[in-house]
Amino acid sequence: MAFKSKLPHQEISIFSVMSKLAQEEKAINLSQGFPNFSCDPILIDLVRKYMVEGKNQYAPMPGLAALRQIIAHKIKSLYQVDIDFEKEITITAGATQAIYNSIQTVVHTGDEVIIIEPAYDSYSPAIKMCGGIPVAYQLNAPNFKVDWDELGKLISDKTKMLIINTPHNPTATRLDEDDLQKLNDLLADKDIFVLSDEVYEHLVYDQQKHVTLLSYPELYKRSFVSYSFGKTFHATGWKMGYLVAPPILTAEFRKIHQFTVFSVNTPIQHALAEYMQEPNNYLELGDFYQKKRDLFLEAMNGCSLKPLPSAGTYYALFDYSEVSDQKELDFAKEVTRKFKVATIPVSAFYSQKIENRVLRICFAKKEETLIEAASRLSRL
C-alpha cells in the first residue's frame, strides 16, 4: 500500500550503525551512551518490593505524588528554587518523551525551532513530526562555545522555540552563568519558548556546579526542562524521566502526555521515590564519573588521539587530526575494525555532517573495559 513517510530523510541512528559494527567486530563498544555496569542492587530490590506489594496498575497521570514531591525537594535543596510538584512536575517515559511532548505542546506547522548542533538526535525528528522546521546553530571545535549574538541572528518572526542542552551531548561542554544570562537577555522581549535538556545535571566535573535554567525566573516562565532517571541511576533501559515546566505549560503538556503514554511504570516510580530519600544516591554521581573520566584519560596518555576537555556528561571527545584525514564516520569504522573499539563520529550530530575530526567516546564503563579500550587505542 502506498503511503507518504513523515520522516522521509531520516537515517538509521548512528548508535545502531556503530553498535551493530561493534557486535560484528567483537569490539569494545564505547559508542552508545549507557553504562556496562549494573545499577544499585538496593534500587532493584525496591522495584521488586513494590511489584510484590502489588503496585502494578496505572500510576496517576502526572506521576506518583511521592516521587514528584521528592523531586521538588531535590530541586529546592540543590538550586534553591521552589517548584510546585502538583502543577509543575510530570513523570515521563524517559527524557525522550518529555522532549518530544514539549515540542508537540507548542510547535505548529511552519514554526521554526533553533537547535544547537552537534545536537542530540531526537530533537530534529520531534520538530519535524509537528510540521516544524529545525534551524541549526553550529558549534565549532575545539571549544564548542555558543556565541549568543551569532545565534540571535537565526531568530526570525517564525521562531517558536530554542533548545539548549547542558551539560552537552556530544561535546561534553556545559553552559555557565554567563551563557544563561545572555540567553535570558536575548529572549527578554521575544515570544520564544525554551526547552532545556538537563539530563546530565549531576555529571559535572572539577568542582563546577550545574547551572540550571530553573534558576532564571524570567527564562523559566517560557520553558520546559527535561531530566532522566536513566542517566542518574545507571538504568537507561527503564526509560524513566521527568519534565519541569510552569503551571500553564505543564497543563498543556499533560493534555498531550495523557494520550501518548497516560502514565509511566508504577513500581519503578514507587522505588525511585523511596531511593531518592537518600540524597547521596545522586550527589555522589559527579565524583563517581569524574574518577572514570580521569582513569580513562590517564590510560589514554601517550595515545595519538588527543582529548578535548570533558566538563560534564559521560562522554569525552578525541581529536584524531594528527593520525588521519579520513572523514569521521570512515575513521570510526576503521578504528572499530582494526583496533576493536567502537566510538561515535560527531559529524553524525550535525545536519550538515560537519567534519571536525573528532570522535566521541562514552566512559560510563567498568574500569577494566576502559583500561582495555585505552590499551587498544594506544596502538593507533
Ligand X SMILES: Cc1ncc(COP(=O)(O)O)c(C=O)c1O
Q: Cα dihedral angle (260, 266, 267, 272), rounded to 10 degrees?
A: 80
Asked if residues 92 and 136 have their Cβ atoms less than 8 Å apart, the reply is no
In sign, the C-alpha dihedral spanning 188, 168, 257, 247 is negative
Output the nine-digit C-alpha cell for 352. Answer: 550538515
Asked if 165 interacts with ligand X (CB under 6 A), we say: yes
Radius of gyration for the chain, computed over Cα atoms and rounded to the nearest angstrom: 21
Q: Which of 90, 166, 228, 310 is the binder for ligand X (CB under 6 A)?
A: 228
Residue type, 34: F
Which helix (H) or strand (E) covers residue 195, if one does?
Answer: strand 193-197
Q: Taking phi first (over 0 means left), then psi (-120 to 50 degrees means alpha), and beta for anything else, what does residue 258 get?
A: alpha
Site stretch for ligand X (CB under 6 A), options 171-179, 181-189, 233-241, 271-279: 233-241
Tell me the residue number closest to ligand X, measured at CB: 94
> Binding residue for ligand X (CB under 6 A) from 169, 263, 266, 369?
169
Determine, following the binding rule CB under 6 A, whether residue 95 of this chain makes contact with ligand X: yes
Nearer to ligand X, 339 or 349 (CB): 349
Q: Which is nearer to ligand X, 199 or 341 (CB)?
A: 199
* Least separation in angstroms between CB 204 and ligand X: 14
By beta-carbon proximity to ligand X, the closer residue of 203 and 303 is 203
Residue placing its CB nearer to ligand X in the complex, 236 or 310: 236
196 vs 266 by CB, closer to ligand X? 196
Of 264, 213, 246, whose CA–CA distance to 55 is shortest? 264
Q: Crossing angle for the helix pair 94-106 and 247-260, nearest 10 degrees?
A: 110
Q: Which stretch binds ligand X (CB under 6 A): 92-100, 188-196, 336-344, 360-368?
A: 92-100
Which triple of cell numbers denotes residue 147? 556565541
Stretch that binds ligand X, among 21-29, 89-97, 176-184, 354-362 (CB under 6 A): 89-97
Report the C-alpha gap between 279 and 301 in whole angstroms.
35
φ, ψ at 99 (rounded to 5°) = -65, -50
Rule CB under 6 A: is residue 96 a binding residue for ligand X?
Answer: yes
Amino acid at 363: F
The nearest distance, CB 34 to ligand X, in angstroms, is 8
Which residue lies nearer to ligand X by CB, 267 or 312?
Answer: 312
Q: Segment 188-217, which members bind ligand X (CB under 6 A)?
A: 197, 199
Residue choice 241, 307, 312, 345 for contact with ligand X (CB under 6 A): 241
Taking CB under 6 A as the criterion, the residue among 33, 62, 132, 345 binding ligand X is 33
Amino acid identity of residue 294, one-letter, is D
* Bond into 41 cis (ω within 30): no
Tell me the CA distances in angstroms from 60 to 77, 86, 277, one per residue in order.
25, 11, 21
Instruction: Count the site residues for ligand X by CB under 6 A.
Output: 14
CA atoms of 248 and 34, how far apart (whole Å) = 34
Q: Does 310 participate in binding ligand X (rule CB under 6 A)?
A: no
Measured from the CB atom, is 241 or 345 closer to ligand X?
Answer: 241
Choice between 120 and 331, CB closer to ligand X: 120
Select 303 or 348, whichever has its Cβ closest to ligand X: 348
Question: Does residue 167 have a cis bond before it (omega within 30 degrees)?
Answer: yes
Of 83-91, 235-243, 319-327, 349-357, which segment contacts ligand X by CB under 6 A?
235-243
Cell numbers for 208, please give them: 563546577
Contact 208, 287 (CB under 8 A): no
Q: How many angstroms separate the most distant Cα atoms in the chain?
A: 59
230 binds ligand X (CB under 6 A): yes
Q: Does 336 bind ligand X (CB under 6 A)?
A: no
Among 85, 120, 253, 275, binds ligand X (CB under 6 A): 120
Q: Which is nearer to ligand X, 123 or 193 (CB)?
A: 123
Contact set with ligand X (CB under 6 A) = 33, 94-96, 120, 165, 169, 197, 199, 228, 230, 236, 239, 241
